Amino acid sequence: MADREKETLTRFLRAQRTSVLAIVDGLDPAALVTPALPSGWTPLGMIEHLGYSERHWFQEVVLGRAEPLAWPDDDHAPLTTPRPPAVVFAFYREQCERSDAVIEATPLAAPPRGRHPGPFAAEAPDLRAIILHMIEETARHAGHLDAARELLDGRAGLGPR
């Protein structure tokens, strides 16, 4: 039963990740670093943020440790990045692969070894809750990216077919 549940949760998380990448696929380098909304975030900054989220929740929180970043852990607010697209996309994909390995090796009911600061910590008692949180986080930001894409180049409804 737990294996089926884990497979289902993983499938939904992977679908959201795929949507994120499909939505930004084809944006030119200038558009990737162009803020589409007054808050100032960029599509590339959002991809990097999602990489940081994967790293934080599955490595820092679930495992209680994470490999050092290849760059300073800057504030990255308002979700922008000085790094080039190839580096950011590779970072995101690598963090997703690491997350998948953590999910594969960890029981759904396992409590985290690390801790998320702030009020959400109490709402993340096990891997199951953390996967659900990341599905929600990734889906929410896929929606943001979808709206930004429409504002940037008029394309809408993008995602896996």
**Model confidence at 76, in pLDDT bands (50, 70, 90)?**
low
pLDDT digits (tens, 9 = 90+) for 91-136: 999 999 999 999 999 999 999 999 888 877 777 899 999 999 999 9
- 147-158 pLDDT, tens digit per residue, is 999 999 988 776
Q: What pLDDT was estimated at residue 77? A: 67
**61 in Cβ contact with 17 (< 8 Å):** no
Tell me how many helices (H) and strands (E) the chain has. Answer: 5, 0
pTM assigned to the model: 0.93
Which domains does the chain possess? 2-68+75-153 (1.20.120.450)
- Report the alpha-carbon distance of residue 41 to residue 66 in Å, rounded: 26
Phi, psi of 138 (to 5 degrees): -70, -40
pLDDT value of residue 26: 94
User: Residue 76 corresponds to which tokens in the numbers above?
Assistant: 């990255």
Sort 92 into a burial class: Cβ within 10 Å, 0-12 / 13-18 / 19+. buried
